Amino acid sequence: MLRTLRQQHDRFPLNAPFRIARGVKMAADVVTVTIAEGEVIGRGEAVPYPRYGESVASALAAIEEVRALVEQGASREALLHALPAGAARNALDCALWDLEARLSGRDVAEMIGRSPLMPVATALTIAIDTPAAMADAAGAAGDVPLLKVKVDALDPRAQILAVRTAAPGPALIVDPNESWNRDLVEEIQETLVEARVALLEQPVPAGDDAWLEGFAPAVPICADESIHVLEDLRAVARRYQVVNVKLDKAGGLTAALDVAREARALGLGLMTGCMVSSSLSIAPALHLAAMSDFVDLDGPLWLQTDRPGGISEAGGFIHPPAAGFWGTR
């Protein structure tokens, strides 16, 4: 049976400005794909990211280029060769997972040989602000397992210590989003230890990280912008201790699972991350989260209104979406 493909741009206003070292976001702009086979519909969502040369328009155009292939029944594996890694392929891949699950009457967890999804601890993000404002945000988060502290290069020590003082309990991930240089990374090691930071995420630009091969960090360093696809892993494994696998970077759950499995085989720690998005992006990522050491999937919590039936959060734990939302019967 032939399929019908539809794609559209959806925008979700945020409930507060999302500030990172790279800029400020006020809304999540996503690409939503639906693939129908008869009366059965699969959905997928992706977030085109300007950091990687993507836009909503370019993602929609890329999807349009493979419309005939998809509507004629292309598999997820065929898409790996038809499109490069990125948001467009992610939206299509996830829609096909959802469609296959509904057509077969199986959950995606069953399809990949894993147990049903359970609640998982996620990082709650403290966006860049003054140290006092960041301390207030950390204190308001309450007694949660994990906080992610967005910092820049202006005064990261004050930002980190302010959050730690206000929130003495949670594990901390510090994320400069490539805004630091080598000197700052070396200088701040003592602060990271003092603040009991569990993970430092992509401190320097992806193109300026070769020196990490000879560096012995006081806390593990996680690759984010430096890791997209399988071919990146060998170099990354010499420079980082953990990798952040995101569906939008890998180009879908199919490729992301391959990256995660190979990362484990290389002895790397695993983190599952996301862009600011709706729960339709998070639902497939939860299958990666189930095998990860660190989880950062709080994107929908920044939205004024999420998609109905999406994830919920309580006490720093994400609860899976309602049955039938994505990848389930």
113 found inside a domain: no
How many angstroms separate the CA atoms of 315 and 282, rounded?
A: 18
- Residue 304 has, within 13 A of its CA and on its CB side, a CA count of 10
Same domain, yes or no, for 84 and 201?
no
Of 74, 108, 166, the C-alpha closest to 327 is 108
Catalytic residues: 150, 246
The pTM score is 0.95
Q: Provide the domain limits for residue 22.
A: 3-105
CATH of residue 69: 3.30.390.10
253 found inside a domain: yes
Same domain, yes or no, for 64 and 156?
no
275 found inside a domain: yes
Same domain, yes or no, for 142 and 287?
yes
114 found inside a domain: no
Sequence-ordered list of residues with C-beta below 8 angstroms from that of 153, at least 6 positions apart, any chain? 21, 176, 179, 180, 181, 184
**Interhelix angle 156-166/131-141, nearest 10 degrees:** 30
Same domain, yes or no, for 90 and 217?
no
Same domain, yes or no, for 314 and 171?
yes
325 found inside a domain: no
Would you give per-residue pLDDT tens digits along the chain (329 residues)?
A: 789 999 999 999 999 999 888 888 999 999 999 999 999 999 999 999 999 999 999 999 999 999 999 999 999 999 999 999 999 999 999 999 999 999 999 999 999 999 999 999 999 999 999 999 999 999 999 899 999 999 999 999 999 999 999 999 999 999 999 999 999 999 999 999 999 999 999 999 999 999 999 999 999 999 999 999 999 999 999 999 999 999 999 999 999 999 999 999 999 999 999 999 999 999 999 999 999 999 999 999 999 999 999 999 999 999 999 999 999 87
Tally of domains in the chain: 2
pLDDT at 286: 98
What is the edge-to-edge ordering of all strands in the sheet holding 317-319? Answer: 120-121, 317-319, 312-314
Same domain, yes or no, for 300 and 202?
yes
Same domain, yes or no, for 170 and 285?
yes
Residue for token pair 């806390």: 219
How many angstroms separate the CA atoms of 236 and 142, rounded?
A: 35
Strand 312-314 versus strand 317-319 pairing type: antiparallel
Q: Are 259 and 101 in contact (CB under 8 A)?
A: no
Could you say which of 105, 135, 162 is where a domain stops?
105
Same domain, yes or no, for 101 and 215?
no
328 found inside a domain: no
pLDDT at 173: 98
pLDDT at 328: 82
Same domain, yes or no, for 171 and 286?
yes
14 found inside a domain: yes
Same domain, yes or no, for 65 and 152?
no
Same domain, yes or no, for 189 and 306?
yes
127 found inside a domain: yes
Which DSSP letter does residue 323 get?
A: T
CATH of residue 309: 3.20.20.120
Same domain, yes or no, for 222 and 305?
yes
